[in-house]
Chain A
Amino acid sequence: MNQSPPSFVGRRARSLRTARRGPARYSAFDLIRRGALGTDWPRSFSQPELRGTYDAVIIGAGVHGLATAYYLAANHGMTNVAVLDKAYIGGGGSGRNTAIVRSNYLTPEGVRFYDRSVKLYENLAVDLNYNVMFSQRGHLTLAHNDSSLRTMRWRAEVNKLQGIDSEVIDPDHISRLVPYLDVSPEARYPVLGALYHPPGGTIRHDAVNWGYARAAEHLGVHIHQYTEVTAIHVESDRVTGVSTNRGDIAAPVVVNCTAGWASTVCDLAGVRLPLITHPLQAAVTEPVKMFLRAVVVSGSLHVYVSQTDRGELVFGASVDPYPSYSMRGSLEFTEELAGHVLELMPSIAKLRVLRQWAGLCDMTPDYSPIMGVTPIDGFLLDVGWGTYGYKAGPVAGEAMAELVATGKTPEIISAFDLARFAEGRLVGEKGAAAVGH
């Protein structure tokens, strides 16, 4: 274990001693024991000193950066790794998304990739010894017109060919799954059918971030919060390290996992990307009794709705119509979103909206991510995650870790390289990713 000395004494020092023995293993027995004895829980993360040299530096402590660090340590034994973030763990898109996980995409490359992610999510709570509350409650994408019904059929066939549970169902079947949904022909946008994806569902995104961070740190990875990268050093087309507000780091590999801020970080290395950053707004209502089991998405109405385990309804929209790094909300958005939700479920008109927020989405021209190598040796990308980054966290981390450790691009992400824009190999996912959460 590479634990640095405690930065201050007292509780932190005790927790570091615990960390040397390995973190407390969370279990029902431990919960009862600590509850009965009134003992404190050890801290999940420490605050290590910055080393001058790491084998790899990962920029961005969101789900992608933390998963990459975890799989580097767990699968490849690389533990001299730093994860840097200008703010705190999971404070960007990883803590702002609507936490929907699914794999019913449109292209075979996309379906295979996201399905691997769902499989990893299914076992994540056990792998990380952290309850990530993955609830595979089913995912419905509604079709309100013939062309979207046609796209649903197309997606269902591609999905089935890849072995994914996904089918088109009729309004009667939808009604049985989501009784509160207005599927009558009188609705303003009548529901003609839906793509039903039973393995899809929601997850507690903060738990995934914290679980990966805790497990990675246990394996020896350093997570440096409030450490902003101010420069990326490149010598004769090879990355040599980074400068941060806490000091310089030499590293042969630097991975950019910064999602919405990807263009600004790539600017430091002189790499230009085909990205445009848009805010995406979401909102949550006051909690009510459980009545909505499945995740309901309507591409035509630009809205997706799910109910959390606490009973709040989470609403998400499409991205704002112009690029911006502003994470302020707008009244037009909340009005439009609420109106569209009521068109689907008129009975919730009295529910009050509690909170509203926005996150940043780095949109690519083809709605697929950009992963892999760049013209600068050792500078790797895991960006372009647009509106679909969270569901890909585990598989992206696993694949990026393999790329860092072996130097070879894994087959599962080979279609998503930066060179595809020059070579005309775009992976068009707009039909399944534009509002399809």
Chain B
Amino acid sequence: MIRIPCPHCSARNSAEFRHVGEAAARPDPSTVTPEQWRVYLYERSNPAGWITETWFHTMGCRRFITVERHTVTNEIRSVRPAGSSGPEPAEALSGRADAGSPDAGGQA
């Protein structure tokens, strides 16, 4: 189980969320080459380490969020509303950042 500090709803169990996938910019359909489209459609970096990905808070705010997560430890180091640029400022996350780690205590 992991807890995701939703920027809109505070830390919640990952069961409330739907994992959407690795964050990737969609190429412009009017100019894209088939090769670029294939890369966008199928190829994934699938790292054993830090990854930037999109989640959807199905049972909460029903908004998309961008999460930076470590795929081996499931530690989360930043969250921000999807579409906003850059990681959320540290102070906005403080107080609930540790809730993202798998071993964190029960504050919500």
Cβ contact within 8 Å between B19 and A322: yes
Complex Cα distance, B38 from A272, in Å, reads 12
The answer to the question of A365 belonging to the interface, with a C-beta cut-off of 8 Å to chain B, is yes
Q: Which A residues are in CB contact (< 8 Å) with B91?
A: none
B48, closest chain A residue (CB): A325
B69 to A: closest C-beta gap in Å: 8
We find that the number of chain B residues with CB closer than 8 angstroms to chain A is 25
Q: Which B residues are in CB contact (< 8 Å) with A326?
A: 71-74, 102
Cβ contact within 8 Å between A273 and B71: no
Q: Which B residues are in CB contact (< 8 Å) with A267?
A: 45, 47
Interface set, chain A 336-380, CB cutoff 8 A to B: 362, 365
Complex Cα distance, B46 from A270, in Å, reads 13
A245-276 contact mask (Cβ, 8 Å, vs B): 1 or 0: 00000000000000001011001000011111
Q: Which B residues are in CB contact (< 8 Å) with A362?
A: 46
The answer to the question of A277 belonging to the interface, with a C-beta cut-off of 8 Å to chain B, is yes
Complex Cα distance, B21 from A421, in Å, reads 18
Cβ contact within 8 Å between A263 and B46: yes
Cβ contact within 8 Å between B44 and A276: yes
The answer to the question of B10 belonging to the interface, with a C-beta cut-off of 8 Å to chain A, is no
Cβ contact within 8 Å between A323 and B45: no
The answer to the question of B28 belonging to the interface, with a C-beta cut-off of 8 Å to chain A, is no
Q: Which A residues are in CB contact (< 8 Å) with B21?
A: 276
The answer to the question of A184 belonging to the interface, with a C-beta cut-off of 8 Å to chain B, is no
Q: Which A residues are in CB contact (< 8 Å) with B46?
A: 263-264, 273, 275-277, 323, 362
Binds B, one of A30-38, A155-163, A195-203, A327-335: A327-335
Cβ contact within 8 Å between A331 and B74: no
Q: Which A residues are in CB contact (< 8 Å) with B55?
A: 322
Cβ contact within 8 Å between A332 and B1: yes
Give the interface centre of A272, A273, A274, A322 by most chain B CB atoms within 10 Å.
A322
Cβ contact within 8 Å between A325 and B72: yes
Cβ contact within 8 Å between B19 and A272: no
Complex Cα distance, B43 from A325, in Å, reads 18
B55, closest chain A residue (CB): A322
Interface set, chain B 37-71, CB cutoff 8 A to A: 38-39, 41-48, 51, 55, 71
Q: Which A residues are in CB contact (< 8 Å) with B73?
A: 326
Q: Which B residues are in CB contact (< 8 Å) with A322?
A: 14, 19, 55
A264, closest chain B residue (CB): B48
Cβ contact within 8 Å between A272 and B45: yes
The answer to the question of A28 belonging to the interface, with a C-beta cut-off of 8 Å to chain B, is no
Out of A324, A330, A332, which one reaches B71, CB within 8 Å? A324
Q: Which A residues are in CB contact (< 8 Å) with B35?
A: 422
Complex Cα distance, B73 from A341, in Å, reads 29
Complex Cα distance, B13 from A331, in Å, reads 12
Indicate whether A324 sits within 8 Å of B38 (C-beta atoms), given known contacts A263-B44, A263-B46, A331-B1: no
Cβ contact within 8 Å between A263 and B45: yes
Complex Cα distance, B102 from A330, in Å, reads 10
Q: Which B residues are in CB contact (< 8 Å) with A277?
A: 46, 48, 71
A236 to B: closest C-beta gap in Å: 21
Cβ contact within 8 Å between A272 and B15: no
Q: Which A residues are in CB contact (< 8 Å) with B18?
A: 321
Complex Cα distance, B49 from A267, in Å, reads 13
Cβ contact within 8 Å between A324 and B74: yes
Complex Cα distance, B76 from A322, in Å, reads 14
Q: Which A residues are in CB contact (< 8 Å) with B43?
A: 272-274
Complex Cα distance, B12 from A386, in Å, reads 29
Indicate whether A323 sits within 8 Å of B48 (C-beta atoms), given known contacts A274-B42, A421-B38, A422-B38: no
A118 to B: closest C-beta gap in Å: 30
A362, closest chain B residue (CB): B46
Indicate whether A321 sits within 8 Å of B1 (C-beta atoms), given known contacts A263-B45, A263-B47: no
Cβ contact within 8 Å between A330 and B44: no
Q: Which B residues are in CB contact (< 8 Å) with A325?
A: 48, 71-72
Cβ contact within 8 Å between B15 and A332: yes
A-B contact pairs, 29 of them (CB 8 A): A263-B44, A263-B48, A264-B48, A267-B45, A272-B39, A272-B44, A272-B45, A273-B44, A274-B43, A275-B44, A275-B46, A276-B44, A277-B71, A322-B14, A322-B19, A323-B19, A323-B51, A324-B72, A326-B73, A326-B102, A331-B1, A332-B15, A362-B46, A365-B42, A421-B38, A421-B41, A421-B42, A422-B34, A422-B38
List 19 other contacts, CB 8 Å, given A267-B47, A365-B42, A422-B34.
A263-B45, A263-B46, A264-B46, A272-B44, A273-B44, A276-B44, A277-B46, A277-B48, A277-B71, A322-B55, A323-B51, A324-B71, A324-B72, A325-B48, A325-B71, A326-B71, A326-B102, A332-B1, A422-B35
- Report which B residues bind A (CB closer than 8 A): 1, 14-15, 18-19, 21, 34-35, 38-39, 41-48, 51, 55, 71-74, 102
Closest 8 CB pairs of A and B: A274-B42, A263-B46, A322-B19, A272-B43, A325-B48, A325-B72, A421-B42, A330-B1
- Report which A residues bind B (CB closer than 8 A): 261, 263-264, 267, 272-277, 321-326, 328, 330-332, 362, 365, 421-422
